[in-house]
Amino acid sequence: MRNIIIVVVACLMFFAACRREADIQTSFYYWKSAFLIGNDEAALLDSLAINELYVKYFDVKWNRNTSAAEPVAVITFPDSASRHYAMIPVVYITVDALRNTPDNAIPALAGKVLSLIKQINAATGVHMREVQFDCDWTDQTRSAYFHLLQWIRQHLPADTRLSATIRLHQVKYRLRTGVPPVDRGMLMFYNMGELGQLEGPNSIYNAQTAGKYVSFCKNYPLPLDVALPAYSWGIHFREGKGMGILERLRAEELERDTLFEKKSPFLFQAKQSRLLHGDYFIMGDFVKIETISPALCEEAAKMLAPDVKKEDRKVVFFDLDSSTISNYTIENFRQITDRFR
Amino acid sequence: MKTFVKLLIASVSALVFLVIALACAGGDWSEEEAKKSLFDQSIMLDNPQDQAYQPYFRMITTPFFGNPDTAESNIAVFNDINVHEWADFFNKKITEAEISTLLYSTDLSKIDHLIFYIKDNAYDKIPRELKEYAIAKLDDKAKAKEFLYYLGFAKRCEPIAADDSGAWNYDTEQAKPFTAQRCDELITGGIKSAANVKNAFIRERYAFQICRLYYQKAKVHDQNYQACLQYYNGVKDDFKENKVIRYRSMGYAAAANFRQGKFAEANYLYSLMYDQCPEMKTIAQYSFRPQEESDFARSLALAKNTREKTVLWHLLGIYGDEARAIREIYALDPKSELLNLLLVRYVSTLEETVLPENYQWVYSYATDASPRNTASIGFTADSIHSSELNLIRRIADQSNTQKPYLWDLSCGYLYVLKNDSKTANDYFKKARQKAPDKALLNDQLHMLDMILKINDLTSISKGFEDGFAKDLDWLLNGKKSETLSTDDATFYIRKKLAEKYLAQHNEVKAMLCLNRCVPDFYFNLEKMDRMIDFLKQPAHSDFEKTILGLYPNTVDHLKEAEAILLAYQGKTDAAIAKMKESSGAEKVLMGNPFTIHINDCHDCDHDAPQKRKFTKLSFLEEIKKMEGIVATGKSENDYFLLANAFYNMTYFGNARDFYACEATDIETYGMFLFPLSEDYRHPAGKPYEYIFDNSRAEKYYLLARESATNPETKAKCTFMAAKCEQNAYYINKPADDVSDFKAGNYFAQLKAQFSDTKYYKEILKECGYFRTYVGR
């Protein structure tokens, strides 16, 4: 199929923006596979009057042994915490799963995905008002992904909203990557750097990279909610190459162990070769801590806010976890959200 | 530090946890990158026992993913083993086919029928076909009955054993696959049956089922893994008849330990499984996850002998530190075969730090002309640390391992990576002397010899070419060991040859070795002429013949590329002459290249009925005819048609297929100029810029307007010129300018001079940009 891009003469639609203060709601992603809300988290949600969370239900991954796409890390609900919150199911689909699923098997896969979502809803009493898909699709996997979304859209009740995460490169290169056939997008305003670079800037958020992409957001043809980073991690480097991600790691934890020498506020080097908490470090390995402080998160919000249309939207923080919220105050979250009003 | 993605199959999700290492923001890290290598790990496989280690070769360079899915959740992998074991149990008196049917596709009621029938041959409710089963006729009825009773028990356990976690069903508290009570019933029944059963083979299988029931019950219901361990410890020494069953039971005990945080015990058991049960090797390796040095030390303390200790070190080596494991195992047992895998993995890990970034990627896109691929590659003296080298050299020099040649070869290869050809050769010589005569080893050494030759080369002489011709032909076309992967070495050698030729200003040979290493080659007539001359030479040397085999283009392709270039340079006569020399002349254009509309719609033009289909040649000939007409006298129509032709043969028009040809391989759709695989603003796109140039079309629209008398025609020409103006803006605007259009001179002229024409109303209706402009 020839992909014609009409560069010269496009029909533009203009939306008249009505002038009232936009309705901005705060929410969080819940990304762990057992849904447990601690007291601190519950108190925070309560203070921010949040009763709706984006909850990752499962990942869809390609299983090479069985040559089939299958759900992985399916969420469990060990207690009744889920009953207190409205949940928006989120499903993460790997590009591998899409690439390996033949076109004619996409409807079957979509059917299984929707069925599993419904089973989880039924088990936890969720009345689904929105469902979100998360996938870093590319031009090669676009048609499979969009086909899957279309199938889901057709099989959802009309009043259930379908949304999809949108990465920054998908905003900038939308002519190439296409715009997913969904009702709303969730702009992921993070993961913008080159992760595999020891010397590079913070890969979660840095203003310089953000600046190259942010101006494209205004013209994105979907209404956009906004996801902002509020997390930390460590990146394990060997010989200058990224080896893996150490989830939710903070500098203080490395400061406590004798294995590491602190080279800078965010760079730690292994002094010997040994195990630590199930990971193996070779002498000379580096761990780069990337943290999004409340100030940096607010900076991101400040940069993005003028470049998205003024409209009702959700501002969603990634992610709800005790380590995240221990570094943020309620006021921090309020102020950051207010940037979009 | 909670979890590490590479180990946690439960955390592949990537809303945040994976990021791409490409130059665009917000992408996920790709799941897997192919292993880049000049060193074939299969070199260690010189006897059949070594094959067991092949699954643990280092295969990917990004270790975030790539672990096999655990087979613990896939009990089907044991089906064949079970069938074989039962067939042996019955001394082959029952066929494997019948056993398989009984085990996996016979329901419980039929098993009951069989039991009743064996007990009493007068039992008449048995379906006729079951009577024909060999099991029903077995002389040893007691054995048959014990088997069938056990089979019934196993089938009752099956729903509990089958771990459904990978399936598309959601297990809720209400919908758990089984109740704790059901487990207890089966456990009690199993223990009772195991006590009564006479046959040890079957007793062990009951014990295995009970271990698994305890484990599954703990996992799904009560977390009482201790009960599982307690039972296992009571029966573990009784497993004598069934090897695989023994280790499968051990696997549940290991997992029960792990789930209780008893990592030392768990990992010790996994190491036994890895070493002693080939069927469980992969599962054991995958499951071996030491957490801290202290628990690994305790695993070592549990080891009963040197072998067990070396296996633990071996697994730690695979887990994270091959060098440390090599040192420890070598100290304990230098002849241990466990060192071989660690050595090839270690070398493989080291080469990854030396071979260029994106090496494999570069190879795949060897035709890509972007700067990343024109960067030089090579090795330097400091590419391998001396501590790493010393370890391997020390052991190689001792020559007291199981495969001394493997250490010499590895040591030599590390010297290759250090760019020390002399020492590398010394070690290769030793490797050759010590090695068993194996084709793979010889091929590997041959390939590395070639790399050494290339690295040592200062300039390429005729003498070198003649000497290297045979080697290169062998690498590219010769018979080689099947496992030897030559892709990366081939690319390395081609790239280095191309670099040397470029340094000697021999672009033709550089291009033969690596097409597109000269980015503007197909946009330069002189360069292409030189290639044509070379291709047409009556005779070529052996070396030249070999590199000609690498070159994808022919004289025919080059002539077409030349004709296209001439056409854009406005040299229509010359373009026609060249085109006639190429089969490209016959290529049919999809749309009518002389037509134009307010909105560009290529698909519409391609689908529209066309009285006359133009080929590349007839298109050029038609242009020449019109150029002749406008040269002799002014013709508004011919100017306009020519302008349309010049417009359509650019990126914006309906005849992009005019510039498509084999040599340049420019993609004709999308915003991307493959083979550049970059967007059009990339500096490497410079040679391609004529594709975006509308200035000739604009000039002819203005000439058409000048010669026109009718205001409608004038308005039309002005609007078309506006399209050219807009395209120029769009192509040249800075990357951060996100606006779609910018009104220029011609929009102003249309508004000022032609607002009373019909055509004006048409464009107002059809062109959103213009409407926006007028509405301001």
Q: Which of A236, A241, A274 sits opposite B293 (nearest CB)?
A: A274
Minimal Cβ distance to B769: which of A9, A96, A277: A9
Q: Does B164 touch chain A (CB under 8 A)?
A: no
pLDDT in tens, B406-455: 999 999 999 999 999 999 999 999 999 998 877 888 999 999 999 999 99
The answer to whether residue B289 scores a pLDDT higher than 90 is yes
pLDDT at B72: 46
* pLDDT for the residue A193: 67
Containing B316, the helix (H) or strand (E) segment is helix B306-319
Residue B69, pLDDT > 60, answer no
Exposed e or buried b for every residue in B468-483, given b needs 16+ CB within 10 A?
A: bbebbbbbeeeebbee
CB of A10 less than 8 A from some CB of B? yes
Whether B12 contacts chain A with CB within 8 A: yes
Look at A70 and B63 and tell me if their CB atoms are within 8 Å.
Answer: no
Query: What pLDDT, in 10s, does the model give residues B468-488?
Result: 999 999 999 999 988 788 888
Q: What is the pLDDT of residues A38-81, one digit of tens each?
A: 999 999 999 999 999 999 999 999 877 678 898 988 898 888 88
Chain A residues in contact with B1 by the CB 8 A cut-off are 234, 246-247, 249, 253, 276-277, 279
Nearest to A206 by CA among A194, A195, A193: A193
Give me A280's structure tokens.
């193996």
**A219/B723 CB distance under 8 A:** no
Nearest to B592 by CA among B655, B647, B657: B655
Asked if the C-beta of A183 comes within 8 angstroms of chain B's C-beta atoms, the answer is no
Higher pLDDT, B183 or B16: B183
- Maximum alpha-carbon separation in chain B: 113
CB A186 within 8 A of CB A226: yes
As a whole number, mean pLDDT of residues B73-83 equals 77
pLDDT, residue B655, reads 93
Q: What is the pLDDT of residue B382?
A: 85
Whether the predicted pLDDT of B607 surpasses 50? yes
- Residue A218 contacts B where some CB pair is shorter than 8 Å: yes
The per-residue pLDDT for range B622-650, each reduced to its tens digit, is 999 999 999 988 688 999 999 999 999 99
Low-confidence ranges of chain A (pLDDT < 70): 1-21, 65, 193-196
CB contact burial A215-247 (16+ within 10 A = b; e otherwise): bbbeebebebbbbbbbbbbbbbbbbebbbbbbb
* pLDDT score, position B329: 98
In this prediction, residue B150 carries a pLDDT of 97
How high is the pLDDT of residue B25? 44
Chain B CA closest to residue A59: B13
Cβ distance A71 to A58 under 8 Å?
yes
Q: Dmax over Cα atoms in chain A, in whole Å?
A: 64
The answer to whether the Cβ–Cβ distance between B31 and A31 falls below 8 Å is no
- pLDDT at position B615, please? 97
pLDDT at position B759, please?
A: 96
Q: What is the rounded average pLDDT for all residues in chain A?
A: 87
Q: DSSP states of A183-197 as a string?
A: SEEEEE----S-TT-
Size of interface A-B (CB pairs under 8 A): 257
What is the pLDDT at residue B676? 36
* Range among B11-15, B369-373, B490-494, B662-666 rated most confident: B490-494
Q: What pLDDT was estimated at residue B35?
A: 64
β-sheet bridge partners, residue A93: A60
Residues on chain A touching B351 (C-beta within 8 angstroms): none
Q: What is the mean pLDDT of residues B211-240?
A: 94
* SS3 of residue B457 by DSSP: coil
pLDDT of residue B683: 57
Mean pLDDT value across residues B718-733: 90
- Selecting from A138, A168, A318 the residue whose C-beta is nearest the C-beta of B25 gives A168
Q: Nearest Cβ partner of B17 from A209, A247, A282?
A: A247
Residues 291-320 of A with CB under 8 A from B: 318-319
- Contact assignment for A70 to B64 by CB distance below 8 Å: no
Which of B731, B697, B730, B701 is CA-nearest to residue B713? B701
Min Cα distance A212 → chain B (Å) is 7
Closest CA to A240 of A282, A198, A195, A281: A198
Q: Which residue has the tokens 């006479």?
A: B198
A8 → closest Cβ in B4, B22, B726: B726
Looking at the predicted complex, does its ipTM rise above 0.85? no
The strand pairing partners of B672, in sequence order, are B679
**To the nearest whole angstrom, how far is the Cα of B301 from the nearest Cα of chain A?**
17
Best A9, A260, A271, A318 member to test B by mutation, with max B CBs in 10 Å, is A9
Count each helix (H run) and each strand (E run) in chain B, helices first.
37, 0
Does A172 contact chain B (CB < 8 Å)? yes
Which residues in chain B are closer than 8 Å to A136, comparing Cβ atoms?
14, 20, 26-28
Percent of chain B with pLDDT over 70: 86
Which helix or strand (DSSP H or E) is residue B545 part of? helix B542-548
Give me the pLDDT at residue B24, please: 37
User: Is residue B387 less than 8 Å (CB to CB) from chain A?
Assistant: no
Contact B292 A276 (CB under 8 A): yes
Distance CA A338, CA A252 (A): 30
A286-291 vs A279-281, strand pairing mode: unpaired
Give B67's DSSP letter.
P
Per CB-CB distance under 8 Å, the chain A contacts of B174 are 123
- pLDDT tops 90 at residue B538: yes
Tens-digit pLDDT profile for residues B684-702: 566 778 888 999 999 999 9
Q: Are B160 and B213 in contact (CB under 8 A)?
A: yes
**A49 min Cα distance to partner chain B (Å):** 24
pLDDT of residue B192: 97
State the smallest CA–CA distance between residue A155 and chain B in angstroms: 18
pLDDT band at B164 (very low <50, low <70, confident <90, very high): low
Q: Are B494 and B478 in contact (CB under 8 A)?
A: no
- The stretch B138-148 carries a mean pLDDT of 95
Residue of A2, A6, A8 best to disrupt the B interface, most CBs of B under 10 A: A8
Question: What residues contact residue A177 under an 8 Å CB cut-off, 6+ apart?
Answer: A137, A138, A139, A142, A169, A170
Q: Radius of gyration of chain B from Cα atoms?
A: 37
In Å, what is the CA distance from A220 to each residue of A168, A174, A309, B237, B479?
11, 8, 9, 68, 55
Chain A residues with CB inside 8 Å of B32's CB? 96
Model pLDDT, residue A20: 54
Confidence of residue B333 (pLDDT cuts 50, 70, 90): very high
H-only helix segments in B132-242: 134-137, 141-161, 180-196, 200-217, 225-235
- Residue-level pLDDT at B11: 26
**What is the reported pLDDT for A140?**
79
DSSP 8-state code for residue B366: T
- Nearest by CB to residue A246, choosing from B4, B32, B319, is B4
With a threshold of 0.90, does the pTM exceed it? no
Compare B721 and B520 and report the one with higher pLDDT. B721
pLDDT of residue A323: 81
- Is the distance from CB of A241 to CB of A196 less than 8 angstroms? yes
Give the SS3 label for residue A256: coil
Tell me the pLDDT of chain B averaged across its residues: 86
Of B353, B652, B770, the CB nearest to A239: B353
Q: Tally Cβ neighbours within 10 Å of residue B772.
A: 15
Gap between the Cα atoms of B248 and B719, Å rounded: 79
Question: Considering CB atoms only, which of A2, A123, A242 is closest to B669?
Answer: A2
CB atoms within 10 A of CB B203: 23
Q: Which residues contact B531 (CB under 8 A, 6 or more apart)?
A: B508, B511, B521, B553, B558
**Contact between chains at B27 and A167 (C-beta distance less than 8 A):** yes
* Nearest of B213, B184, B185, B98 to residue B147 by alpha carbon: B98
Question: Tokens 């759709």 appear where?
Answer: B669
Closest among A336, A303, A311 to A213, alpha carbons compared: A303
